[in-house]
Amino acid sequence: MRRYLPFIIVVAVALITFGGGFMLYRAKKLGSGSGPISGAASGIHIRGSKSAAVTIEEFGDFQCPPCAGMATVLKKTEEKYGERLKMIFHHFPLVNHVHAREAAMAAEAADMQGKFWEMHDAIYREQAVWSKAEKVTPLFESYAGAIGLNVERFKKDLQDPAIAARVEADQKLGASRGVTSTPTLFVNTVALPPDQINEPGLHKAIETALTEKPKQ
């Protein structure tokens, strides 16, 4: 048995190394697809082409009225610039908005069924209704049904601790980048000044970014 012990050890080490390498390859493969990245896969929500020249990142609060207005501006801007623009949304629910975190979690629960952006749009569109309600969960459930979700699964997913963790992770990311209010926008990682967070200011920043040479 002692004769074969070195050989057995070498084979065991080789198998462990191969297994680790395979798992690393698989993880990279899962995270390097060419299509849109879902929140479930990456922790961020992307709309638009991954190869777009300009990326807009928004830190938003679903109960924030200016954010609802900005959602309309951003949708029009996406239509204007098409494949040249990519949009990323991060949650940043403010403490003074009592239902903002619940709304963020509803959007994340919708993402579990692949419909984050549909819920994002519905929540902003109906903001004037649910933001004044005492209990918002029944309203979010009705929006889930309206956008074609399995409502029973949606209810279950709302209780998943991973949902709350995603929202918390976004908020910590925003804090680390100096976000204190909503909406906060970054154009190609450059923060848009507060007085330019409007349609003309956003379009000017996009046009500037489009004319800049890519960094080597």
11-32: pLDDT as tens digits:
343 433 434 333 333 333 323 3
The share of the chain scoring above pLDDT 90, in percent, equals 76
Q: What is the DSSP letter of 70?
A: H
Looking at residue 50, its pLDDT comes to 84
Mean pLDDT of the chain: 84
Residue for token pair 């991954």: 50
Whole-number pLDDT of residue 44: 80
Query: What is the layout of strands, in order, in the sheet containing 54-60?
Result: 45-48, 85-91, 54-60, 184-187, 190-191
Q: 28 or 126: which carries more pLDDT confidence? A: 126
Q: Which residues contact 36 (CB under 8 A, 6 or more apart)?
A: 46, 47, 48, 50
pLDDT tier at 214 (50, 70, 90 boundaries)?
Answer: low
Mean pLDDT of 2-15: 42
Query: How distant is the alpha carbon of residue 87 from its chain centre?
Result: 9
The CATH class, in words, for 39-211 is alpha beta
Lowest mean pLDDT among 34-43, 54-63, 171-180, 201-210: 34-43
Distance, CA of 60 to CA of 187 (rounded, Å): 15
Band of the pLDDT at 95, cuts 50, 70, 90?
Answer: very high
Cis omega (within 30 of 0) for bond into 200:
no
